[in-house]
A and B are shown apart, each in its own frame.
Chain A
Amino acid sequence: MSATDCRHARLHIGAAPHELPAAIAQHLAGCAECSRFRDETLALDARLRSALEVPLPRFRERAPRSRRLALAASVVLALLLAGGAWLVNPKPALAGEIAEHVTHEAGSWDKQQVLSPADINAVLQQAGVRFDTSLPVVYAMACPFRGRHVPHFVVQTPQGPMTVMLLAHEKVSARTEFSEHGLSGVVLPAGEGSVAVLTRNGTVPDEVAGEVAGAVRW
């Protein structure tokens, strides 16, 4: 393995560890030192993401400046009215914890094989929940979350794989959308509890969120 190959590989790894060309991946298969460098860089990147995702205290309320156009002020006011007080409210802690949990099981997104009803029921029974969805389930795990065992599924949808968490013990008063850790999601009230649906691509379509919320029975 030449030093030039290794320098070239480390440039790519150090610059974009999640976006390596095939030639670099091939190099890694035969170079333990560069593989170690890649592992170190991936660990650094996980830390970097945590550092960059700074917790946000309240968005400071401010009076419109006199120079601001009346139209601009009215747009902000319209956004505030249409979306509630989202500009000045912090994101619920629940959403952040859900997103963080899902990132720790990132491999679940890659599952392709549809699970049998028996596999799915084994997970549901641990939590005492029913989930009669028509969406194909490709991942099912009873995960510890806030001191409970929570069914964690990945379902296939026309918009790609989406994570579903059935939160029997987390009651929410209203639908809440969020974006955390590079994931978009929604938490919905469902009977006595709630459900969370998350995606890596765009937003969770209403029909998917509705299907999930309607399929759960506590």
Chain B
Amino acid sequence: MKPASHGTTAGAAFTRLLQMLQPDLLRFACWLARDRSVAEDVVQETLIRAWKSREELKDPAAARPWLFTIVRREHARLYERKRLPSVDIDSVEALGDPALATEGDAGLDDLRRAIMQLPDEYREPLVLQVLGGFTTAEIASQLQLTQAAVLTRLFRARNRLRTIYGLAPAEDVE
């Protein structure tokens, strides 16, 4: 095989990988940013950075956590660079953000609103875990926290959401 065609094949395979994971990247960015437009910017920057750094990805099976990490960094970078104001949950809803769109399931909408209203320190590890499939150890590494701190944040995040789901909250942890 000629080197050029090998490069083309590898590039096409990488493109397919990005194509497959792009919806979850956008979802993750939406939950991080709580703003669809910002999320799209973050994902665009992520795709560009991933493409330029594609040689660093040795194992395609590791693509998902690798790309989620880039999304996190790009999100932080965007806020740092643009000094974006924090998002007000009421204004997000008023703009008809698709993340809050009604699908005829009021319970699900309530849960989405409740997730949106979680403080960043609780929402981010929860989204990394449930949507990203990260373990608590991986989240601790991502967020530069101890694993115990991650467990506490995840516990508190779910505890706040239990009431929305009609369950009694558990006793809080110290």
Contact, CB under 8 Å: B17 / A16: no
Q: Which of B52, B60, B155, B165 contacts A203 (CB 8 A)?
A: B60
> Do the beta carbons of A76 and B44 come within 8 Å of each other?
yes
Pick the contact of A56 from B23, B111, B112, B135 — CB < 8 Å? B23
Give residues 10-39 of A contacting B (CB, 8 Å).
Answer: 10-12, 14-16, 19, 37
Residues of the B chain whose Cβ atoms lie less than 8 Å from the Cβ of A55: 98, 101, 103
CA–CA, A44 and B158, complex, Å: 8
Chain A residues in 8 Å Cβ range of B18: 79, 83
Say if the beta carbon of A50 comes within 8 Å of chain B. Answer: yes
Chain A residue nearest in CB terms to B51: A75
Interface pair A56/B19, CB less than 8 Å apart? no
Binding site of B, secondary structure by majority: helix, strand, loop or mixed? helix
Compute how far the CA of A97 lies from the CA of B87 in the bound complex, rounded to whole angstroms. 33
In this assembly, does B42 line the interface, its C-beta being within 8 Å of a C-beta of chain A? no
- What B residues does A83 contact at CB under 8 A? 15-16, 18-19
Question: Residues of B contacting A15 with CB < 8 Å?
Answer: 136, 150-155, 158
A72 at the interface (CB under 8 A from B): yes
Q: Which A residues between 36 and 50 are near B, CB-CB below 8 angstroms?
A: 37, 40-41, 43-45, 47-50
* B19 and A49 within 8 A (CB): no
Interface mask (A148-183 → B, CB under 8 Å = 1, otherwise 0)? 000000000000000000000000000001111010
Residue B84 interfacial (CB < 8 Å): no
Selecting from A57-65, A120-128, A136-144, the interface stretch reads A57-65
- Chain B 108-140 interface residues, beta-carbon cutoff 8 Å to A: 108, 111-112, 115, 126-127, 129-131, 133, 135-136
- Kindly identify which residue among B31, B51, B101 contacts A52, using a CB–CB cutoff of 8 Å: B31
Asked if A14 contacts B108 (CB within 8 A), the reply is: no
In B11-37, the 8 Å CB interface with A consists of 11-12, 15-24, 26-27, 30-31, 36-37
Is A54 a contact of B30 with CB atoms below 8 Å?
Answer: yes
Q: Determine whether the beta carbon of B111 is less than 8 Å from that of A47.
A: yes
Residues of B within 8 A of A86 (CB): 19, 22
A182 interface neighbour in B16, B30, B133, B150, Cβ under 8 Å: B133
Further contacts, 9 of them, CB under 8 A, given A48-B161, A53-B27: A12-B151, A43-B165, A52-B27, A52-B130, A75-B51, A75-B52, A76-B47, A177-B19, A182-B133
Residues of B within 8 A of A (CB): 11-12, 15-24, 26-27, 30-31, 36-37, 40, 44, 47-48, 51-52, 59-61, 63, 98-99, 101, 103, 107-108, 111-112, 115, 126-127, 129-131, 133, 135-136, 150-155, 158-159, 161-162, 165, 167, 170-171, 173
| Cβ contacts A to B, 28 pairs, < 8 Å | A10-B155, A10-B171, A14-B159, A15-B136, A15-B153, A19-B135, A41-B158, A44-B162, A44-B167, A47-B107, A48-B111, A48-B115, A48-B126, A51-B115, A53-B27, A54-B27, A54-B99, A55-B98, A56-B27, A59-B26, A82-B11, A82-B12, A83-B18, A177-B19, A179-B21, A184-B20, A202-B59, A203-B60
